[in-house]
Structure 1
Amino acid sequence: MSNYKKYLIKKVGWYLLTFVVVLMLNFFLPRMMEGNPVDVIVGKMAQGMSSTDSMTRIYESFMQEFNLDKPVWQQFLLFVQGLFRGDLGTSFSRYPRDVSSILASAIPWTLALQIPAIIVGWIVGNLMGAFVAYQKGPLGKVIYPVSLFLNSVPYYAFAIIMLYVLSFGLNLFPSGGGYDVSLMPAFNLQFIGSVIRHHTLPWLSIVLVMIGGQALGMRSMAIYELNADYVLYAKLMGLPDKKITGYVFRNAMLPQISGLALSLGTMVSGSLITEIVFNYPGIGYWLFTAIRQLDYPLISGCTLVISITVLVANFLLDVLYGLIDPRIKAAQVEEE
């Protein structure tokens, strides 16, 4: 068996073990929160009812439906069994809507917001960082402090500033939501235009910070590589600058590729506050809503999606690193 296959098998084993632990945490941690969500549901449904027996029957029926009358370990087994069928349970706060349908409607909104922002921010930021590192001119002296400023401001701060200035102040963009509430979702120019207008401010608040962070990271790595011994040796050997620049760029890009993979893996959780500020109907918004309303199935479903994306991103990163840098897989194999 080749070293690379051994490397992959070992990684798959560790990630499967990690997934089992993550699955347990996603189920048990929400249920450690204080309070009983069934009390809230029954309280809403029993308004105006005077019969204590009727309220008791409603309470018991909901406890049985949500399996809350069973021991926690048995609830976990039922959760895993439902997971293999693609059933994540019924939402407490949006009863009788199931969690899978909520996530299915929320994930496209989050992906449409995060993926373009991450990719554009990563490309533009790395180009800016490489330019600042290679070109010592007045433009580079301007780009560096701008990148530092952008990276220092949190996502939610940009979101609030843009919301206040561009929406409430200048009335150039909508203040929140995914589209105009007067419209019905449809594949037409009016609906698409509304989605783009509502998408612009959340997207800008993410992409600007992304550009600043990537530019600073690329600049630091490129400067470090330019001062490395192999660059001086290559110059003394008479290698053309273009070839040396290619080596420098390749080595400097390794950490940036890690950053890209991790950004893609954590895109769901990273959009949480941005979606809350703009009332954007993504998975981060639903996670916040579920936590506030003690919606155990929806919390577990949201965190499970986040965990899976993070694990998949890290696994793909390890596979990619093993192909790009043979030293990594060689070091892993030697540990066996």
Structure 2
Amino acid sequence: MKGYRKYFGKKIVWFLITFLIAVLLNFILPRLMPGDPVAVITAKSAKGISDTSAVKQIYETYAKQFGIDKPMYVQFFTYIKNAFTGDFGLSFSQYPREVSNIISNAIWWTIGLQLPAIVVGWLLGNILGALAAYIRKGFDKVLMPVSLFVSSLPAFGLAVILLVVFAIKLNIAPISGGYGYDMIPNFSWNFIKSVVSHYQLPFWSIVAINIGGQAIGMRSMSIYELNADYVKYSRFLGIKDSKIVGYVFRNAMLPQVTGLALSLGTMVGGALVAEIIFSYPGLGTTMLQAITMSDYPLLSATTLIITLMVLFATFAIDIIYGFIDPRVKAAQFD
């Protein structure tokens, strides 16, 4: 138990240090962006007003409302205090909407798209990679070139290909959006059918990209493990091949599990390409809008979510490794 406490203690300390640095950068970097978003809101509100003092008063009112009239360190502690309660302030680009309201509406679209696509792509890729390593022959000769080709395609490239082929040429899928533009979100059958039809292209573009990389990684690790000394020795002792293969693929899966955890952790940021190409109403598109509009309350909130997801995913996989990887277990007691 002492070895485990030492191992987990180090992980927790590094997690907290990384988290504090990430939060600090998450606050500072968006505020270094050029432009004055408050001036843009003021210009819209003061349209037609020629009185300079009145315009200045409007600007000061907005600056006070957003809290940017205070020193940077005061803004930082206010940001930390509010973040713990889920209050990220008002959005500059979608004023007077609250940032938390924008994110709560967008994040479920992203999770609903990314989570199933990543898991399906991971499962299919690892199954195909394991079969290619174990069966070899014609299966491997077909799978590897296809996997290499698909994994080498940039995410936006594959998305555009699917868009052109299935939406424009064959006209069997919608071009953009999360549902029909003439519809209001509700629980009717027509709305659900529209959501499912708009879901297909972005979903399969993410799945296809994940399959290629996972298949290549699993094939390489499986071949390495199949040629390891413990496999040769086990076969020499007469242990059944089915039992050996179980250990082989368990060991080969360890790096793949890490990849899955990191993919899940970064799925909000990874949604950006698919959402932009297909105009999908998720958090990736929201983050892009925040960048282009210098909306740093919204940008800080989205990047903070990504940071937390990556940190928790990395921390979780480190903890899981401590229990399932014999090499980590051995190192704990050195």
Shorter-chain TM-score: what band?
over 0.9
Q: For the residues of structure 1 that align with 2:254 and 2:87, how far apart are their CA atoms?
A: 39
The total of aligned residue pairs comes to 334
Q: RMSD of aligned C-alpha atoms?
A: 1.3
- Residues 332 and 283 (structure 1 numbering): CA distance in 2 closer, same or farther, change over 3 Å? farther
5 Å matches for 1:23-62? 23-62=23-62
Give a deviation string over 1:284-308, Cα, whole Å, max 9, x none: 1111000000001000000000000
Other-structure match for 1:151: 151
Q: For the residues of structure 2 that align with 1:168 and 1:247, how far apart are their CA atoms?
A: 47
Deviation of the 1:48 alpha carbon: 2.0
Other-structure match for 1:255: 255
Other-structure match for 2:278: 278
Q: For the residues of structure 1 that align with 2:117 and 2:241, how far apart are their CA atoms?
A: 33
Other-structure match for 1:7: 7
Give a deviation string over 1:41-86, Cα, whole Å, max 9, x none: 1112222222222211110101111111111111101111111222
Tell me if structure 2 keeps the 8 A contact 1:177–1:198: yes
Q: For the residues of structure 2 that align with 1:172 and 1:161, how far apart are their CA atoms?
A: 14
5 Å matches for 1:259-270? 259-270=259-270
Other-structure match for 1:164: 164
Q: For the residues of structure 1 that align with 2:158 and 2:114, how far apart are their CA atoms?
A: 15
Q: For the residues of structure 2 that align with 1:203 and 1:122, how far apart are their CA atoms?
A: 13
Structure 1 residue identity aligned to 2:182: S
* DSSP 3-state at the match of 1:29: helix
Q: For the residues of structure 2 that align with 1:216 and 1:169, how far apart are their CA atoms?
A: 31
Tell me if structure 2 keeps the 8 A contact 1:3–1:330: no
Q: For the residues of structure 2 that align with 1:86 and 1:207, how far apart are their CA atoms?
A: 32
Percent identity over the alignment? 53
Greater CA deviation, 109-118 or 163-172? Answer: 163-172
Q: For the residues of structure 2 that align with 1:59 and 1:289, how far apart are their CA atoms?
A: 23
Deviation of the 1:26 alpha carbon: 0.5
The answer to whether residue 311 in structure 2 is matched with residue 311 in structure 1 is: yes
- Residues 41 and 329 (structure 1 numbering): CA distance in 2 closer, same or farther, change over 3 Å? farther
* DSSP 3-state at the match of 1:130: helix
Tell me if structure 1 keeps the 8 A contact 2:124–2:211: yes
Give a deviation string over 1:171-222, Cα, whole Å, max 9, x none: 2111111111211111121111111111111111110010111100000000
Tell me if structure 1 keeps the 8 A contact 2:3–2:332: no
Q: For the residues of structure 1 that align with 2:98 and 2:326, how far apart are their CA atoms?
A: 46
Q: For the residues of structure 1 that align with 2:297 and 2:332, how far apart are their CA atoms?
A: 38
- Residues 191 and 327 (structure 1 numbering): CA distance in 2 closer, same or farther, change over 3 Å? same
Give a deviation string over 1:151-175, Cα, whole Å, max 9, x none: 1111111111111221122221111
- TM normalised by structure 1 equals 0.96
Other-structure match for 1:123: 123
Q: For the residues of structure 1 that align with 2:249 and 2:173, how far apart are their CA atoms?
A: 39
* DSSP 3-state at the match of 1:48: coil
5 Å matches for 1:152-301? 152-301=152-301
Q: For the residues of structure 1 that align with 2:42 and 2:111, how far apart are their CA atoms?
A: 35
Give a deviation string over 1:136-162, Cα, whole Å, max 9, x none: 232321111111111111111111111
Tell me if structure 2 keeps the 8 A contact 1:7–1:329: no
Structure 2 residue identity aligned to 1:239: I
* DSSP 3-state at the match of 1:176: coil
Q: For the residues of structure 2 that align with 1:7 and 1:45, how far apart are their CA atoms?
A: 57
Structure 2 unpaired stretches of 5+: none
Q: For the residues of structure 2 that align with 1:290 and 1:133, how far apart are their CA atoms?
A: 45
- Residues 18 and 333 (structure 1 numbering): CA distance in 2 closer, same or farther, change over 3 Å? farther
Deviation of the 1:333 alpha carbon: 6.4
Structure 2 residue identity aligned to 1:132: A
Structure 1 residue identity aligned to 2:174: P
Greater CA deviation, 42-51 or 275-284? Answer: 42-51
Q: For the residues of structure 2 that align with 1:332 and 1:152, how far apart are their CA atoms?
A: 39
Structure 1 unpaired stretches of 5+: none
